[in-house]
Structure 1
Amino acid sequence: MDPSFKRTPRVPIETIPGTLPIASVSEDVDHAGVAAEGLKMLTSLTRENLTKESIWRDQWALTGTSRTFSGPSQVFAAWKELAATRKPDNFSLIPNTSRITASLPDSAWVQASFAFTLEGAPACLCSGFIGLVPDNAGGWKIWMLSTILETFKGYPNPDTPPPQPSASTHTNGVNGFSDEYSYDCVVVGGGMAGLSVAGRLKAMNVSSVTLERNAHIGDNWLMRYDSTKSHLPFSRTFSAEDGYFLTSSKIAQGFQRYVKTYGINVWGSSDLKTASWNAQKKLWNLQVERQNPSCTVIINTPHVVLCLGAGGQVSKMPTIPNREAFGGIVMHSKDYKSSNAWSGKNGVVVGSANTAHDVAFDMVESHLRTVTMIQRNPTALYNDFIPVEVADKIYFGLPLSISRQILLKVIRNEVDKHSERYDSLERAGFKLDRYCDPQEYISVRLGGHHIDVGAGKKITSGQIKMKSDAAIKQYTPTGLEFADGSHLDVDVIVFCTGFEGNMRESATEIFGSEVANGLEDFFGVDAEGEILGAWRRQGYPGIWYNGGTIVNARYYSRFIALQIKADLEGMPLPLYKKTPA
């Protein structure tokens, strides 16, 4: 373990530094010219080139990790030190990307995308964003800077799909069986996060195997409830005919097509049980139980990527007194499949986020006599106001504190335009976090929001009834009693109360407590606004997390693949650990 390792503290998201600039920009300004002049500043940056609100986020380009620096002193000190060794050069404006961005009447800036190279070892191709505001002397200063590692010079790009294998050479797995295998990387979990990493690794010519506990890719979706609705970000996986919100069967089919198309090496019915570190060989020895055929094998690998689900594997189930008195059905959404068998019964859903709405919607469609949603906390309601491709760039191209503030403004404006939709839900008893903080739900809570794809209308029409005015007190023989003395007769209760979200707990089961002491927690944010644990190096070598939201898993998997490739090629990214003054 790295002797200097200390687990990074998490902080409240509202405390991370970074503010929007107070500035106005004329509509007729030559924004391309302004951006081009701004890029020239980067070749010999001075403190005077930066505004007092300046902020710089680097994603694995100069710092070898994901870091955010705030204020002119920090930004200048870090840039000066890193530029001396990483040698950024060849800055060029990407055509047709400059624009005037205005989030408020008194906050505007010129923003553009650019490309550049790093000539220090390892030599890299990079991109970035620059944001500039006018100063008081008729010139411009840098307010925001973002730098992003794209790939290494002379190596494949993780964003380029791997060559499609010919039918004669494609295998999904390994021909024949032995007691011991070796791979450059082992990916644990064949869902969205795992396949994202596996595809990136294949694109960069890194040998890997993906271990999937279920028999087939996509089974983790097919075993879930039939009415799952989710949008997959792989444009090359799903066609327009599949629809925007995908059913569980469509997702499974898309995953299977992806594996077949790009020849992803997957072992189904394979479960990683334990792992131990061979310090002499610098390899992890993985003990894997396989079911087809039934055997235990060893895999030796320098890298293990854990992709165990956005919210972890352990379900959260509230403890409610007097459970033995209730004679009906009680289950967690993890075990829910369909409401078809409960037609004519009284159903209750505990929870009010995405899963709860899907289950309640399915209960109505399955003709239950009554359907009641028990809401414990206000819920954020998302809609398709922001296109996915725009949201991706806002989320990941800018410092989190900046994307957060922009999104807060956008959401407030859009919610006000559709106020009756929210008013009608509140009249029906649904408690709303109307002006929600999307980064709080995505980057910290790992859930608690709801994308309305139809259940909202069933709430406002009364088909789904709301109980949000009192907490559950106890079970009764015929249902539930609440703290306000009211009672609800019910036959079926489905708890849609989420999962334990810290992947370090799952890692402890595999690697043991000693190794887990050298691992970061999973999700939440640090003092710079960076996500804890995920995608970055740990205190132990070669252990990685990938997960979070669908877009998290897709976007950040590229950086895991890049770091693994650099390590395998003997050119690890130089890691910048300092906190500049």
Structure 2
Amino acid sequence: MSLAQNHHIIQLPVTPQVTTPLDPCAIAQQWITDLEAVLSGNDFSRLAELFHQESWWRDMLTLEWNLRTIQNLDRIEDFVRQNQPRAQLSAFRLQDEGKFQPSLDTPVEGRLSWVVSMFFFETRVGRGTGMLRLTQDGPSGVWKAYAVYTSLQELKGFEEPLGPRRVYGTLDSMPGGSSRGTWAERRQRQLEFLDEEPTVLVVGAGQSGLNVGARLQSLGISCLIIDKNERIGDNWRKRYRTLVTHDPAEYTHMAYLPFPKNWPQFTPKDKLADWFEAYASLMELNVWLKTTIKSASYDDTKGEWTVQLTRGQDNGAIIERTFHPHHVVFCTGHSGEPKIPTFPGQGHFKGVVYHGSQHKDASEYDVKGKKVIVVGTGNSGHDIAENFYENGAEVTMLQRSGTYVISVDKGVFMLHEGTHEEYGPPTEQADIVSESLPYPVQFALGVFLTKRISAVDHATLSGLEKAGFKVYYGIDGSGIGSLYYTRGGGYYIDVGCSQLIADGKIKIRQSPNGIAGFKPHALVLNDKNKTEIPADVVVLATGYDNMRTTVRKTLGDKVADRCKDVWGLDEEGELNSIFRPSGHPGFWYMGGNLAMCRVYSKFLALQIKAIEEGLNSQSSQAQNSQEQKKQQEDANLSSKL
């Protein structure tokens, strides 16, 4: 059974207990010295001396221009053998200060201990940062790698102008001097693309588009961001009135510009929208508002797009511009189009029916004493139900399957222990550590963390179950991580609605088979009795379709047919198609929560920069697809057998 068929469930190793003092620095240094010797000598068969048979290597653009997770010694050996001659990993150096210098860590008490350290390295084209986790081999006592992470962080010769490399900003230091105009004058010409065409067209000015736009511009890549809204941040500003982010401030910083220290822990949506607007201005991003794609086509021979844009003006006029970017980055939200089901009899329903994406505020309706049914028990469903209750409605939530619930004031902070937290390590280091384990390993560790969180949240969870709410703890009990990466939902970060359910103020009805239809004044459940629930308002918090549906709607079938579906984990355990080759050359998906957009915008921007500078010899993303790589690895393994 493959990893995907097994829902990416793995068993963590049980390591020998460490009963005598040890020197983590010496252990880590010996291992990394041996690794460099193996790689420099191309003696890849010796990797067996450094890796357990069941081990992992997660690689971000270092050995291959892709995001890969390689499991087990044989595959790791093949992966390194194929790519090290080109990549030329070398100059390994352990972190020698701060939180992530070599140490002995026990992620599972009494069961799993490893020596962990951050390290640095170089390749032929760049510099990177990684993490190693070494566990002791029982019979021999030798410390071998259980998990290794390598991530390319910058390209040699194309370093970002950060810190000591920042530009001067004086007129005489800018190309052409004063004859080319002041900073502001140059900026205006750049914003309107009067002197050049954008190399990259970014569609969507939310957290995805803004982060990747900032990364690209810092790498010297000309980038135009377009958005259909009237203001930057409207993708949050126009959502329901009570929306607040469910992730802490330290986790949700944007690239290059963290939130101020007096920023609220959880950001109200209008405040976040205003921050996006300020961010675009401060980062000097080229954003065109009220702009949509009229047509788009790709020329495989030239390796460029022809995109016709329609841009609205403040005076009501419409301007059309045609550009020929090399890349299009789709940043319209990884969830895609709203899933809006229809049901028999819906046209005869006398009340109001709408999708959760259309919800603004319950006060828009005269709902006091009215019967409201919210279909769905994810984050949006809970927020909408609470909003209706606070406006005097009689609210029932319809639950089809179990939902994971975690408290915002306790459980959420436990998710970020040791990384993205107040007084924690620098965000750049925390990002590397939080992404350094393969997702299946994260899920396996999540089983133990979920148990700890559930113990803290016991009173809430018990109250929910007594009220008839089905609590689900994720695949194999692994909690929120597996649900987010495999489904993009199925959980609720509790900001208050759970207590209303436990107190019976918001009712719960179970309907495993969903909805049969509508009657004029009721919703009909799809159970054996076709139970009718009286209703005046029905909100369908039924989620969203795949992001590829938005591509099809915007760019047409020809483009969408070449792209792959987005999100969920592939056979290796990496996210499908997003932040990495999409299946269509010159086309990229970008999305996710604020933290993911900050982290992975760097990797996406580096891939584009490498292509533009001729560093990525695999110019066709389609040729670099995951499926072809897996076929090659399978063939290599078969030949060995």
| Fold conserved between structures, TM > 0.5 | yes
Structure 1 residue 494: deviation in Å? Answer: 1.1
Deviation readout 1:504-530 (Å, 9 max, x if unpaired):
232233443333332222112111111
1:140 counterpart residue number = 143
Structure 1 residue 491: deviation in Å? Answer: 1.6
2:234 to 219, 230, 233: 219
Q: Which amino acid aligns with 1:190?
A: A
Distance 2:162 2:328 in 1: 21
2:415 counterpart residue number = 386
1:125 counterpart residue number = 127
Cα 1:280/1:65, change in 2 over 3 Å: closer
**1:231-246 alignment, distance < 5 Å:** 231=247, 233-234=252-253, 236-246=257-267
Distance 1:78 1:302 in 2: 29
Contact map agreement 1:212 1:266 (CA 8 A) in 2? yes
Contact map agreement 2:129 2:150 (CA 8 A) in 1? yes
Contact map agreement 2:198 2:222 (CA 8 A) in 1? yes
SS at match of 2:7: helix
**1:438-453 alignment, distance < 5 Å:** 438-453=480-495
Deviation readout 1:329-377 (Å, 9 max, x if unpaired):
1111111110113341222211100001111111122222x11111111
1:287 counterpart residue number = 308
2:323 to 295, 299, 308: 299
Distance 2:192 2:544 in 1: 37
Q: Which amino acid aligns with 2:347?
A: E
SS at match of 1:156: coil
**1:338-417 alignment, distance < 5 Å:** 338-341=361-364, 342-344=366-368, 345-368=370-393, 370-382=394-406, 383-384=411-412, 385-387=414-416, 389=419, 395-417=434-456
Q: Which amino acid aligns with 1:371?
A: V
1:554 counterpart residue number = 598
Structure 1 residue 149: deviation in Å? Answer: 0.6
2:65 counterpart residue number = 64
1:476 counterpart residue number = 519
1:203 to 218, 241, 247: 218
Contact map agreement 1:348 1:490 (CA 8 A) in 2? yes
Q: Which amino acid aligns with 1:458?
A: L
Distance 1:58 1:176 in 2: 38
Q: Which amino acid aligns with 1:569?
A: E
Contact map agreement 1:526 1:532 (CA 8 A) in 2? yes
Contact map agreement 1:394 1:403 (CA 8 A) in 2? no
Q: TM-score, normalised by structure 1?
A: 0.90
2:299 to 267, 273, 278: 278
Cα 1:173/1:462, change in 2 over 3 Å: farther
The share of aligned pairs that are identical, in percent, is 28
Distance 2:168 2:498 in 1: 43
When structure 1 is superposed on structure 2, of 518-527 and 109-118 the one drifting more is 518-527
Structure ranking higher on relative contact order (CA contacts 8 Å, 6+ apart): 1
Structure 1 residue 537: deviation in Å? Answer: 1.9
Deviation readout 1:209-250 (Å, 9 max, x if unpaired):
101011111111121111112136125353344422222201
Residue 168 in structure 1 maps to residue 184 in structure 2: yes
Structure 1 residue 112: deviation in Å? Answer: 0.7
Q: Which amino acid aligns with 1:48?
A: E
SS at match of 2:320: strand
**1:106-121 alignment, distance < 5 Å:** 106-118=111-123, 120=124
Residue 466 in structure 1 maps to residue 508 in structure 2: yes
Distance 1:162 1:18 in 2: 47
1:571 to 615, 618, 635: 615
Cα 1:18/1:547, change in 2 over 3 Å: farther
Q: Which amino acid aligns with 1:33?
A: A
Q: Which amino acid aligns with 1:488?
A: I
Q: Which amino acid aligns with 2:545?
A: E
Alignment root-mean-square deviation, CA: 2.8
Cα 1:426/1:205, change in 2 over 3 Å: same
Cα 1:412/1:15, change in 2 over 3 Å: same
**1:168-187 alignment, distance < 5 Å:** 168=184, 182-187=197-202
Contact map agreement 1:173 1:267 (CA 8 A) in 2? no
Structure 1 residue 17: deviation in Å? Answer: 6.5
Distance 1:526 1:401 in 2: 11
Distance 1:287 1:208 in 2: 16
Deviation readout 1:77-98 (Å, 9 max, x if unpaired):
3223422322111111112422
Distance 1:137 1:10 in 2: 29
Structure 1 residue 73: deviation in Å? Answer: 1.7
Contact map agreement 1:208 1:265 (CA 8 A) in 2? yes
Contact map agreement 1:443 1:524 (CA 8 A) in 2? yes
Unmatched tracts of structure 2, length 5 or more: 39-45, 170-181, 421-429, 619-623
Distance 2:385 2:294 in 1: 36
Structure 1 residue 11: deviation in Å? Answer: 3.4
Structure 1 residue 127: deviation in Å? Answer: 1.0
Cα 1:367/1:239, change in 2 over 3 Å: farther
Q: Which amino acid aligns with 2:455?
A: D
SS at match of 2:435: helix
Deviation readout 1:281-329 (Å, 9 max, x if unpaired):
32211011111141221111101101111210x2112332211232111
Contact map agreement 2:305 2:325 (CA 8 A) in 1? yes
Residue 253 in structure 1 maps to residue 258 in structure 2: no
1:29 counterpart residue number = 22
Distance 1:113 1:242 in 2: 30
Distance 2:501 2:391 in 1: 16
Unmatched tracts of structure 1, length 5 or more: 1-8
More helix by proportion, 1 or 2? 2
1:5 counterpart residue number = none
2:50 counterpart residue number = 49
Distance 2:270 2:530 in 1: 43
1:533 counterpart residue number = 577
SS at match of 2:564: coil
When structure 1 is superposed on structure 2, of 83-92 and 555-564 the one drifting more is 83-92
Distance 1:175 1:142 in 2: 49
Q: TM-score, normalised by structure 2?
A: 0.82
Q: Which amino acid aligns with 2:25?
A: A
